């Protein structure tokens, strides 16, 4: 079934600055800070275990804020939520740099996770409202792509600042990036204002909306758990396996850099495929390719072999840029979109948390290679689940 063309007056390039500019700024700031969160905690007296927990607080903050973010965005609108989240993130960056104690720093890290949840959900809802259905996947894939570009560039900018001013320099980069995002959001026109006035948003609670759409969440949502889990396992098992076969940390970082470059090149073609041929053509290959890469990872015992496997998994991850957001946008009801997307992001965050935990749990009772093969097989099985359910919710098929 062909999808109608987008209105002639609509071009993604015309909304690039207001739609994608704040995201790449915020992601660059986050990318600058992420590598030094544990180091900053250590500076404040944390043990290695506590420093690792400080890093985990970012994910816990996102997980805790997923549902409240949906309620907040539904009440104040996407643009206000974006501005507020970026402003609060700027405060957390300042506190992170100047925190007088470990506990103050830990609170700042947790709050930064919650602001990321609000910002990401509001940006997804913003683009879903703004972009015609026939270009939705390209818009959301581009959103995922520019986010990855920012996270890729951030550590390089942060490295320069850290060399000049120490670890607080990375937080200075994050502060400037967040303030720049706030400024840009305030200066550009609010492109969704008319849409928000025209659409009567439901004031229903998040839980009532999720209960009304429980079938979607228990079918397509489980598929999103598989996608998010596969992606998170990929970034967990690669460094663990590299260390187990004696590959140095420097070489492992190089492998990640090469894979990241491949990853970033694929976001727009992936969106184009979804808009032209349907969501299934991307959703299924994403988890199958990542799963196949993990299944053969235990055979990689050299730097070249590890790099090849990492690139294969990067291809799977890269073509999946925006797939979770696109599936969520397709399934979300227009009158209660933010509330639904809050639950959708909760499923994705649960998958991201559960994947590495599964690897760790299996590794407690079996060799690491076994754990990697098991999660690879589960990812491939997730492809079968997605093949069954994605077509039923695909607007191109409907």
**By the 8 A CB rule, do 338 and 125 touch?**
yes
The separation between CA 385 and the C-alpha centre of its own chain, rounded to angstroms, equals 21
Residue 361 has, within 13 A of its CA and on its CB side, a CA count of 8
Closest CA to 236 of 108, 64, 55: 55
The token duo for 211 is: 């209960």
**By the 8 A CB rule, do 68 and 207 touch?**
no
pTM of the entire predicted model: 0.88
The token duo for 289 is: 């390719």
DSSP annotation of 322: T
| pLDDT for position 35 | 85
The token duo for 356 is: 């590495």
> Which domains are seen in the chain, by residue range?
1-190 (1.20.1250.20), 202-398 (1.20.1250.20)
| pLDDT for position 398 | 60
Closest CA to 313 of 247, 230, 257, 246: 230
| pLDDT for position 292 | 96
Computed on alpha carbons and rounded to an integer, the radius of gyration of the chain in Å comes to 20
Cβ partners under 8 Å of residue 295, min gap 6: 372, 373, 376, 377, 380
pLDDT by 10s per residue, the chain, length 398: 334 444 556 777 788 888 899 999 999 999 999 888 888 898 899 887 788 788 889 889 999 999 999 999 988 888 899 999 999 999 999 999 999 999 999 999 999 999 999 999 999 988 988 888 989 999 999 999 999 999 888 888 988 898 888 889 999 999 999 999 999 999 987 766 665 555 556 678 889 999 999 999 999 999 999 999 999 899 888 888 988 888 887 788 788 888 888 988 899 999 999 999 999 999 999 999 999 999 999 999 999 999 999 999 999 999 999 999 999 999 999 888 999 999 999 999 999 888 888 888 898 888 989 999 999 999 999 999 999 999 999 988 76
Residue with tokens 């720049």: 180
Closest CA to 173 of 149, 192, 153: 153
Q: From residue 125, how far is each of 96, 136, 189, 251, 393 by CA, in Å?
A: 29, 11, 17, 39, 18
Between helix 214-244 and helix 368-393 the angle, nearest 10°, is: 150
| DSSP code per residue over 207-275 | HHHHHHTHHHHHHHHHHHHHHHHHHHHHHHHHHHHHHHTT--HHHHHHHHHHHHHHHHTTHHHHHHHHH
The separation between CA 137 and the C-alpha centre of its own chain, rounded to angstroms, equals 15
Closest CA to 87 of 110, 112, 121, 50: 112
């Amino acid at each position: 079934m062909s999808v109608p063309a987008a209105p002639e007056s609509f071009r993604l390039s015309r909304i690039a600055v207001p739609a994608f500019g704040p995201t790449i700024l915020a992601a660059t700031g986050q990318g600058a800070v992420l590598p030094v969160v544990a180091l900053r905690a250590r500076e404040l007296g944390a043990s290695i275990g506590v420093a690792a927990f400080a890093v985990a607080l970012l994910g816990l903050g996102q997980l805790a804020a997923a549902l409240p973010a949906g309620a907040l965005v539904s009440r104040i609108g996407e643009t206000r939520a974006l501005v507020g989240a970026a402003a609060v993130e700027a405060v957390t960056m300042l506190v992170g740099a100047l925190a007088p104690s470990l506990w103050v720093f830990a609170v700042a890290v947790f709050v930064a996770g919650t602001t990321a949840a609000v910002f990401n959900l509001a940006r997804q809802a913003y683009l879903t409202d703004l972009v015609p259905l026939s270009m939705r996947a390209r818009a959301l894939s581009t959103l995922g792509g520019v986010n990855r570009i920012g996270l890729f560039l951030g550590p390089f900018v942060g490295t320069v600042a850290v060399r000049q001013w120490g670890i607080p320099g990375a937080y200075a980069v994050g502060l400037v990036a967040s303030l720049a995002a706030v400024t840009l959001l305030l200066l550009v026109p609010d492109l969704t204002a008319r849409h928000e006035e025209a659409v009567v948003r439901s004031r229903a609670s998040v839980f009532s909306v999720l209960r009304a759409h429980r079938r979607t969440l228990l079918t397509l949502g489980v598929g999103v758990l598989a996608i998010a889990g596969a992606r998170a396992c990929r970034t967990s098992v690669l460094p663990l396996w590299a260390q187990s076969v004696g590959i140095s940390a420097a070489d492992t970082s190089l492998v990640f850099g090469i894979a990241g470059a491949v990853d970033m090149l694929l976001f727009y073609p992936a969106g184009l495929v979804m808009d032209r041929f349907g969501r299934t053509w991307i959703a299924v290959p994403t988890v199958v390719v990542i799963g196949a890469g993990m299944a053969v990872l235990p055979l990689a015992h050299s730097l070249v072999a590890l790099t090849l496997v990492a690139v294969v998994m990067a291809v799977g991850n890269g073509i999946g840029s925006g797939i979770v957001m696109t599936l969520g946008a397709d399934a979300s009801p227009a009158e209660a979109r933010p509330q639904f997307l809050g639950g959708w992001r909760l499923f994705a965050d649960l998958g991201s948390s559960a994947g590495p935990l599964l690897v760790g749990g299996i590794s407690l009772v079996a060799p690491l290679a076994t754990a990697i093969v098991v999660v690879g097989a589960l990812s491939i099985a997730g492809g079968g689940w997605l093949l069954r359910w994605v077509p039923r919710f695909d607007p191109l098929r409907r």
